[in-house]
Amino acid sequence: MRSFFIPCLTLISLALLGVFIALSTFQKVARLQLDVSTMKQQVDDDKTQRAIIVSTLSRLDTESRPADEFIKEWQRSFLSEDDTQRILPALDSLAVANVVSSSDKQNKADPGYTFRNKIIPVESVKISVSGDYYRLLNWLGAVEQEFPLARVEAVSFTNQNGLKMTSTFSFPTCFNLPASATP
């Protein structure tokens, strides 16, 4: 009789080994499918989050565009180093145009001026003008029109040899634009 025991045992062992390898392969494939589905879910979540961020950025850009245009438009109203020298002559020419006489002019730089808890460098100008009451007020309006960002700090009227108005103005000398608003 021939012994078939060893070849059968070998064949069964090889079959079990094949089944074991197949099962481990299927487990790896199932684990990889789970990883792929998790990554797909993460990609979908990232796409959703990206879409939300893009829509928020475009909304913010749309909302801030008028402010950026406003800042660009008003930027020229701020004084540069060269413009500080033109304040007094401009105030004088406005006085002549409104038929009032100007005198006692003083100006000084104030780098530590505080407005609403913020330090803003300004050029402080004190000037006295004399004339009729309505002309003094017209001159004040002309100053406001010529220098829309000037702040009137003080106005006082005296009546000595005619009506005299002493005014103190603060002219902002710089304004730092945010990076998105620069041309």
Q: How far is CA 173 from CA 109, 119, 145, in A?
A: 9, 12, 17
The string of DSSP codes covering 77-129 is: TS--TTGGGGHHHHHHHHHHHTT-EEEEEEEEEEEEEEETTEEEEEEEEEEEE
The pLDDT, as a whole number, for residue 26 is 92
The residue to which tokens 């045992």 are assigned: 9
Q: What is the DSSP letter of 174?
A: -
Q: Is the pLDDT of residue 180 over 60?
A: no
HEC-encoded secondary structure of 17-46: HHHHHHHHHHHHHHHHHHHHHHHHHHHHHH
Which tens digits make up the pLDDT trace of 11-37? 899 999 999 999 999 999 999 999 999
Q: Where are the domains of the chain?
A: 1-75, 83-177
Q: For residue range 92-103, what is the model confidence (pLDDT) as tens digits? A: 888 888 888 888
pTM, to two decimals: 0.53
Query: Where does the pLDDT of residue 84 fall: very low under 50, low under 70, confident under 90, or very high at 90 and above?
Result: low
Those residues whose C-beta lies under 8 Å from the C-beta of residue 138, and which sit 6 or more positions away, are: 98
Q: Name the 3-class secondary structure at 159.
A: strand
Q: What value does the mean pLDDT of the chain take?
A: 83
The residue written with tokens 């309505």 in the block is 134
Compute the C-alpha angle 15/17/21, nearest 5°. Answer: 115
pLDDT band for position 179 (50/70/90)?
Answer: very low
Task: Please name the fold of domain 83-177.
Answer: Alpha-Beta Plaits (3.30.70)
Asked if residue 76 has pLDDT above 70, the reply is no
